[in-house]
Structure 1
Amino acid sequence: MDLIAEKLEDDGFYAVDVAVKPGNRIEILIDSDHGVPIEYCVEISRLVEHSFDREEEDFELEVSSPGIGQPFKVLQQYHKCLNRPVEVMDNDGKVQKGILEEVTDSGFVVKEEKMVKPEGKKKKELQVFRHQFSFDEVKRVKEILSL
């Protein structure tokens, strides 16, 4: 990880996840606030490949960016998705959808707008709810295309 961390930071990217899976399969997920061009994935792949000796140990390497619908793993992903629709699953399995409105070091706020029939009224009204979450009370958060 140290091998690519400095280069990613210098180039305005960040590591989302690095995993070594069975069969010496290395998966590296990288991202930035402006997406990741395929050419940059190739550049990082070559940097990693040149650091290992395939004669000593064979491995499979995949460098990519996380897609929409993949759970967030690092704080930078929350900041990247500010003002975008997200789906939150809390530790009890309850799902909440809304716009990611605020992110702090300890949690985040999701704004939900929905039609609600107030007590004593005949028509539904649009109401705004702000749901505050701490990171330790959610199972997963992911960007979605629309609400």
Structure 2
Amino acid sequence: MDFKSEIHRLLNEFLLTRPDLFLVDLKISASSDITVILDGDNGVTLQDCLDASRAIEFNMDREIHDFSLQVMSAGLSEPLEFPRQFRKNIGRSIDILLSDDSKVEGELVNVDDEKIVIRLEYRRPKLIGKGKEDVVEDKEIPYSEIKKALVVIKF
């Protein structure tokens, strides 16, 4: 089995023992620098990263193939990509860049395997009379229309 396949196999075996964790990204450079980015339904702890690292490192022989390994959690600056990532952020504000390059920001209220639903709150001119009115509406956005989605950090 080649080096990359072996890393994939070891990582998948580890993730089978931890169904609350999932792989966001795995990069293996030509110089054998391995970067693993994990996320979890309840977040990722330092111990989770250590366990994943050990699952790979303790089962590879550096005498045969030398490598460097980094295992990290998907931070708030990382875009949301998978339904599981969106699901764990229900109730939070997210900023979405759509495939037509327009932007939408709202509270994530629902997630399924095809789309997300965000609650938009904005002001618009009244339909009858002068002035403005507050509007709250839910908007469905299919994953296919999402170019990039980030959790909005509010202090």
Paired residues, what number?
147
* AA matched with 2:123: M
Contact 2:116 2:143 in 1 (8 A): yes
2:9 corresponds in structure 1 to 2
- Give the structure-1-normalised TM-score: 0.88
| C-alpha deviation, 1:112, in angstroms | 0.8
Any idea what SS the aligned residue of 1:41 has? helix
Measure, in 2, the Cα distance between the counterparts of 1:112 and 1:9. Answer: 38
* AA matched with 2:122: K
| C-alpha deviation, 1:73, in angstroms | 2.4
Question: Cα deviations across residues 8-45 of structure 1 (Å, max 9, x unaligned)?
Answer: 34332221121213421111111212221112211211
2:63 corresponds in structure 1 to 55
Measure, in 1, the Cα distance between the counterparts of 2:87 and 2:112. Answer: 9
1:46 corresponds in structure 2 to 54
1:87 corresponds in structure 2 to 95
Measure, in 2, the Cα distance between the counterparts of 1:143 and 1:14. Answer: 18
2:75 corresponds in structure 1 to 67
Question: Cα deviations across residues 92-145 of structure 1 (Å, max 9, x unaligned)?
Answer: 111110011111111111111112221343332221122211111111112111
Measure, in 2, the Cα distance between the counterparts of 1:88 and 1:47. Answer: 35
- Give the structure-2-normalised TM-score: 0.84
TM-aligned CA distance change 1:121 to 1:31, over 3 Å = same
Worse-matched range after superposition: 60-69 or 118-127: 118-127
Contact 1:107 1:135 in 2 (8 A): yes
Measure, in 1, the Cα distance between the counterparts of 2:102 and 2:71. Answer: 33
Contact 1:98 1:111 in 2 (8 A): yes
Match of 1:133 among 113, 137, 141: 141
Q: Once the two structures are aligned, what percentage of the paired residues are identical?
A: 27
